[in-house]
Amino acid sequence: MAFFSTKTYGADRGLSCALRQWAADSQCQLLHGYSLGFRFTFAAEQLDHRGWVVDFGAGGFGPIRSWLHETFDHALLVARDDPDRAELLRLAELGLANVRLLPATSCERIAQYVFETAQPMIAAQTKGRCWIDAVECFEHGANSAVYRNPESVRRQVSAEVLQALADEAT
């Protein structure tokens, strides 16, 4: 049995950034901006001494909150494989942008990047008791993408298979 809780770190928090999706066949290939938002789904098989999955204050979510601001607030996100990466990185050299190099800049890949960075933080904060089940990245109210923890998916499939086997045995 697992418990879940969510933390929404919305676009109102000021994670304003610019990015482009260079391979898009649309205006998304141009620099454009968003105030990104994130929703974290945390999971634990055991609650902490307060009955919580995760502490949303400084003792749990705090390091993730700090990292989100450091990474996305007033930043230019550049994909590692952007063919114009050198030109975009030059904006940092000129003092015109806080450039952050990411594996990719789609909402889907940003959600994955946030998961891969935040998961070790929450594991450390909770001494492995809690994990991130999913991260959702919002461009705005109409568009978002979710990255689901592969281990959570395996746990769910295993639980479903075990339940199906139990059902067959009865």
Query: Which pLDDT score, from 0 to 100, does residue 7 have?
Result: 93
- Element housing 161 (H / E): helix 150-169
* Stated pTM of the model: 0.87
Per residue of the chain (170 residues), what is the pLDDT tens digit?
A: 689 999 998 877 779 999 999 999 999 999 999 999 999 999 999 998 998 899 888 777 889 999 999 999 999 999 999 999 999 999 999 999 999 999 999 999 999 999 999 999 999 989 999 999 999 999 887 789 999 998 876 665 555 555 566 667 77
Helices marked H in 62-106 = 62-72, 85-93
pLDDT of residue 25: 94
Distance separating alpha carbons of residues 163 and 93, to the nearest angstrom: 57
pLDDT confidence of residue 150: 87
pLDDT confidence of residue 136: 97
Whole-angstrom Cα distance, residue 32 to residue 74? 13
3-state SS record for 121-146: HHHHHCCCCEEEEEEEEEEECCEEEE
Q: What are the domain boundaries of the chain? A: 3-169
Q: How far is CA 153 from the centre of its chain?
A: 16
- The yes or no reply on domain 3-169 and CATH 3.30.479.10 is yes
- Measure the CA angle with vertex 103, ends 99 and 107; round to 5°: 90
Give pLDDT, residue 10.
81
Radius of gyration of the chain (CA): 19
Q: Note the pLDDT of residue 16.
A: 93
